Chain A
Amino acid sequence: MATLDIHPQTTTHHDDHGHDHEHHGNFWTNYVFSEDHKVIAKQFLITGMAWALIGGILSVLFRLQLGFPEANLSWLRPILGGWLTPEGKIDPEFYLALVTMHGTIMVFFVLTAGLSGTFSNFLIPLQIGARDMASGFMNMLSYWFFFASSVIMFTSLFISTGPASGGWVIYPPLSALPQAMQGSGLGMTLWLVAMALFIVSSLLGGINYITTVINLRTKGMSFTKLPLTIWAFFFTAIIGVLSFPVLFAAALLLIFDRSFGTSFYLSDIYIGGEALPNQGGSPILFQHLFWFLGHPEVYIVLLPALGITSEIIATNSRKPIFGYKAMVGSMLFIAILSFVVWAHHMFVTGMNPFLGSIFTLLTLIIAVPSAVKIFNYVTTLWKGNIRFTAAMLFSIGLVSFFLTGGITGIFLGNSAIDIQLHDTYFVVAIFTW
């Protein structure tokens, strides 16, 4: 094999001297507070995998209780201690805490930070031909905000009143009133602080990805030639930057309600033998704000995986991806629609039924671009010469998974059918997919 010249621009080499010097820095600047996108990607990868492990263990714990409700789990006492009832069952409140933390960890810490943080950081500069991200410093901050957030969220698992337990959607008033459940005390405070830091991290990362893709593409790398992976990361970053601030606002108002006596979400509450003075707030408001992030979040999790899959399938079939433009178009369409479907999570909350109709319509339309993507994947396999590498096997699995998850969404998106299925394991199943 011929040796590749990795420094084709030898004449400009001197200009890069400052850049080269960074590689001679000490351990701290090279591996810890590094501004190099590859190192940061690996930091995200390792932290994300640690979180995946923790989130997985939590789910094993509550599934043990769920799957074997009669079983005596006293053998877990060395780990769980007081969180087991004397009969060897997981304490109901801790069960809810496990579910809550599993959801939070998986959705945000693993599938958002772990996925985008790792692959966007690693692949964007490499695939568009840039030397590094637009701002290495912001990129480093992004990881360290994520790390700080992780530390706080992890700490909250060990406090005596337990971590946040109101579900990963933290609907008030349950999450707003410490007298409603133990986990809504200190655990909830830590959850909110951790999520605030997490959102900062996610925004720093997202702005960087967008800037890099727009400005730092190498000569000849036009938008129409951009790899589908990068298109997916690009759309993901845009969705994240537009929707995470709304969650930030929702969390901020919740903090006000919890600590400063405001009534954004609280009204007419009688709890613990006393009537609270809060009046005029609406718990539904929080749900609107939460799902304005919450639904785009689904695509923040999904699009990077679809983007990577596009290229793995094309490469291992030894064919170009079928319908490149349709793939980009459908991702764009999905990204736009993801902002106008949030209330399909709220069909039975007492929201105006007319809104329900609109959101049913918009939600089911998403199935069209999703179907186009699946057909394009299948057609890419057609008449290929397929190598079953590990990546390829995972990608085929993802398409099959996407199909299953996608068609179950057609049930839930239909408001009339959702009446029966809402808040049941049907929803847990599609979410876990």
Chain B
Amino acid sequence: MSLIIGLGVVLVLAILYLIFRIGNLVELVKGKKDDVSSWNTANAYLLMLFMIVSLVSFVWYSVVHFDSYNLPVASEHGALTDYLFWITMAVTVVAFVIITIAMFWFTFKYRYQEGRKASFVSDDHRLEIIWTVIPAIVLALLIFSGLRAWNDITGPASKDAVVIELIGQQFLWTARYPGVKDSQLGKHNYKMIDASNEFGLDLSDKNTFDDFKSLELHLPKGKEVQLMIRAKDVLHSVFLPHFRVKMDAAPGMHTTFKFIPTKSTADMREETGNPNFNYEMACTEICGRGHFSMRFPVFVHDTVEDYEKWMASQEAWLKQNPEYLQRVPPALREAAMIKAGIPADSEAAIMASPVTVTAKFK
């Protein structure tokens, strides 16, 4: 059956080709002067059809999928960059539509016609100056507004900003919070990293004692957050799509990004009508075979008080890994136990316990 259909198709194509050939031969016999293909006019109409179909479908999908252009925005600077995005979109769409229509209309209107001669137009300085100056002015405005936003976004964070460290590694993220006692991130050194001390905390610095680890990024709503970003092994990139935040994580350096979340997780659940909504952070720099799975849950608290309550409920890293007290210089040990919240009477037992983790110096 399919053989017959196939043969039929071939036959029809062959007939169409013959008709086309005959048409050409007839033209030749009639003594056509030019070597222009008889398909020339058809091509002009097809180009016109192409333009109309493309522009209509462009408008159609833009309207239908308007909400999918950008995710709902949940940060202060994000509203600004979205605004810039849409301004740029408006300018470029106008330019795109005008130029596209002009170009396709010219190709249609000035398609080959027998006997007509093309006009000799090779230069028009006035016209050229106009279309150099207009884009230059429009671009200057875009550059100006873009740079103002950029300077605000990349400017220094305020003194009372919440500081959180994000660490990327193959293939997971971890967050380190400064702890409620000193609100300062302690020093770290990559040579001190081992299986338990995954931050490479330098325990001779007293600011490390109350630092704690989190496998979820918790943020306060309405307060400035300063992310300190680093990587352990290869490049990673912090991407918080709803907050319009992106910054690479590179080993050997700290990158930063500051922003103010404006919608808590609860707000967003209400806005999207999805009770299971959760913010998410992703990695956007190829980092190896597990790159696609490198996600990190994000939770935004409704108020700063809620956030602080959550902070206070977390256990210091040192309390979770008390054997590391042995690494703390003896003079600081008491302060460390107080800051980390380790009961004072357990010191002797901890110091006597065998060292479970050995540092790997290479």
A contact set with B: CB distance below 8 Å: 91-93, 96, 166-167, 171, 173-174, 177, 180-182, 266-271, 273-277, 279-284, 317-326, 348-350, 353, 356-357, 360-361, 364-365, 367-368, 371-372, 374-379, 381-389, 393, 396, 399-400, 403-404, 407-408, 410-411, 414-417, 419-420, 422-424
Knowing A276-B362, A318-B118, A385-B110, the reply to whether A367 touches B139 (Cβ < 8 A) is yes
Whether B120 and A382, one on each chain, are in contact in the complex, defined by CB atoms closer than 8 angstroms, is: no
Q: Using Cβ atoms and an 8 Å threshold, which residues of chain B touch A361?
A: 143, 147
**Nearest chain-A residue to B193 (Cβ)?**
A270
Q: A410-B142, A424-B284 are in contact. List 14 more A-B contacts (CB 8 A).
A: A174-B286, A267-B251, A269-B232, A280-B252, A326-B128, A350-B256, A356-B154, A374-B99, A378-B102, A382-B110, A384-B118, A414-B143, A416-B150, A422-B246
In the assembled complex, the Cα of A282 lies from the Cα of B92 at a distance in Å of 37
B interface size (C-beta, 8 A): 94
Q: Using Cβ atoms and an 8 Å threshold, which residues of chain A touch B47?
A: 388, 393, 396
Is B172 close to A, CB under 8 A?
Answer: no
Kindly identify which residue among A181, A270, A276, A423 contacts B284, using a CB–CB cutoff of 8 Å: A423
Q: Using Cβ atoms and an 8 Å threshold, which residues of chain A touch B124?
A: 322-323, 379
In the assembled complex, the Cα of A273 lies from the Cα of B169 at a distance in Å of 12
**Nearest chain-A residue to B171 (Cβ)?**
A92
Whether A350 and B100, one on each chain, are in contact in the complex, defined by CB atoms closer than 8 angstroms, is: no
Knowing A383-B118, A415-B150, the reply to whether A372 touches B246 (Cβ < 8 A) is no
Whether B119 and A283, one on each chain, are in contact in the complex, defined by CB atoms closer than 8 angstroms, is: no
Q: Using Cβ atoms and an 8 Å threshold, which residues of chain B touch A388?
A: 37, 39-40, 43-44, 47, 107, 111-112
**Nearest chain-B residue to A92 (Cβ)?**
B289
Query: How far is the CB of A182 from the nearest CB of chain B, in Å?
Result: 8
Is B310 close to A, CB under 8 A?
Answer: no
Contact with A along B116-137 (1 / 0, CB 8 A): 1111111110011001100110
Contact with A along B181-210 (1 / 0, CB 8 A): 000000000110101000010000000000
B contacts with A: majority SS: mixed
Whether B150 and A360, one on each chain, are in contact in the complex, defined by CB atoms closer than 8 angstroms, is: yes
The stretch of B81-89, B267-275, B324-332 in contact with A is B81-89
In the assembled complex, the Cα of A178 lies from the Cα of B252 at a distance in Å of 19
Knowing A322-B122, A371-B131, A400-B100, the reply to whether A386 touches B153 (Cβ < 8 A) is no
Q: Using Cβ atoms and an 8 Å threshold, which residues of chain A touch B241?
A: 420
In the assembled complex, the Cα of A424 lies from the Cα of B70 at a distance in Å of 12
Q: Using Cβ atoms and an 8 Å threshold, which residues of chain B touch A319?
A: 118-122
- Top 5 nearest A-B pairs by Cβ distance? A267-B252, A350-B255, A353-B154, A388-B43, A423-B284
Kindly identify which residue among B103, B170, B248, B360 contacts A378, using a CB–CB cutoff of 8 Å: B103
Whether A323 and B128, one on each chain, are in contact in the complex, defined by CB atoms closer than 8 angstroms, is: yes
Q: Using Cβ atoms and an 8 Å threshold, which residues of chain A touch B285?
A: 171, 423
Q: Using Cβ atoms and an 8 Å threshold, which residues of chain A touch B320?
A: none
**Nearest chain-A residue to B238 (Cβ)?**
A348
In the assembled complex, the Cα of A324 lies from the Cα of B255 at a distance in Å of 47
Whether B193 and A393, one on each chain, are in contact in the complex, defined by CB atoms closer than 8 angstroms, is: no
Is B20 close to A, CB under 8 A?
Answer: no
**Counting chain B CB atoms within 10 Å of each CB, which of A93, A279, A324, A350 scores highest?**
A350
Q: Using Cβ atoms and an 8 Å threshold, which residues of chain B touch A424?
A: 284
Whether B123 and A174, one on each chain, are in contact in the complex, defined by CB atoms closer than 8 angstroms, is: no
Is B342 close to A, CB under 8 A?
Answer: no
In the assembled complex, the Cα of A387 lies from the Cα of B37 at a distance in Å of 8
Is B17 close to A, CB under 8 A?
Answer: no
In the assembled complex, the Cα of A152 lies from the Cα of B128 at a distance in Å of 48
Knowing A270-B193, A385-B113, the reply to whether A407 touches B92 (Cβ < 8 A) is yes
**Nearest chain-A residue to B253 (Cβ)?**
A350
Query: How far is the CB of A353 from the nearest CB of chain B, in Å?
Result: 3
In the assembled complex, the Cα of A424 lies from the Cα of B95 at a distance in Å of 24
Whether B131 and A372, one on each chain, are in contact in the complex, defined by CB atoms closer than 8 angstroms, is: yes
**Nearest chain-B residue to A367 (Cβ)?**
B139
In the assembled complex, the Cα of A173 lies from the Cα of B236 at a distance in Å of 10
Whether B286 and A386, one on each chain, are in contact in the complex, defined by CB atoms closer than 8 angstroms, is: no
Is B166 close to A, CB under 8 A?
Answer: no
**Counting chain A CB atoms within 10 Å of each CB, which of B132, B247, B248, B291 scores highest?**
B248
Knowing A375-B131, A423-B237, the reply to whether A174 touches B288 (Cβ < 8 A) is yes
Whether A353 and B151, one on each chain, are in contact in the complex, defined by CB atoms closer than 8 angstroms, is: yes
In the assembled complex, the Cα of A93 lies from the Cα of B235 at a distance in Å of 16
In the assembled complex, the Cα of A283 lies from the Cα of B287 at a distance in Å of 13
Whether B286 and A349, one on each chain, are in contact in the complex, defined by CB atoms closer than 8 angstroms, is: no
Q: Using Cβ atoms and an 8 Å threshold, which residues of chain B touch A280?
A: 252
Q: Using Cβ atoms and an 8 Å threshold, which residues of chain A touch B135?
A: 367-368, 371-372
Q: Using Cβ atoms and an 8 Å threshold, which residues of chain B touch A320?
A: 120, 122
In the assembled complex, the Cα of A321 lies from the Cα of B124 at a distance in Å of 12
In the assembled complex, the Cα of A92 lies from the Cα of B170 at a distance in Å of 14
**Counting chain A CB atoms within 10 Å of each CB, which of B37, B89, B285 scores highest?**
B285
Query: How far is the CB of A209 from the nearest CB of chain B, in Å?
Result: 27
Kindly identify which residue among B110, B193, B235, B251 contacts A384, using a CB–CB cutoff of 8 Å: B110
Q: Using Cβ atoms and an 8 Å threshold, which residues of chain A touch B70?
A: 420
Whether B100 and A386, one on each chain, are in contact in the complex, defined by CB atoms closer than 8 angstroms, is: no
20 inter-chain pairs at a CB distance below 8 angstroms, sorted by A residue, are A173-B251, A181-B288, A276-B362, A282-B252, A283-B250, A320-B120, A353-B150, A353-B154, A364-B146, A371-B132, A378-B106, A379-B121, A381-B103, A381-B107, A388-B47, A399-B103, A416-B84, A416-B150, A419-B245, A419-B246
**Nearest chain-A residue to B117 (Cβ)?**
A385
In the assembled complex, the Cα of A326 lies from the Cα of B125 at a distance in Å of 9
Is B290 close to A, CB under 8 A?
Answer: yes
Kindly identify which residue among A91, A171, A382, A383 contacts B235, using a CB–CB cutoff of 8 Å: A171
Q: Using Cβ atoms and an 8 Å threshold, which residues of chain A touch B254?
A: 350
Whether B121 and A422, one on each chain, are in contact in the complex, defined by CB atoms closer than 8 angstroms, is: no
Is B292 close to A, CB under 8 A?
Answer: yes
Kindly identify which residue among B110, B113, B289 contacts A317, using a CB–CB cutoff of 8 Å: B110
Q: Using Cβ atoms and an 8 Å threshold, which residues of chain B touch A266?
A: 251-252
Knowing A348-B237, A353-B151, the reply to whether A420 touches B81 (Cβ < 8 A) is yes
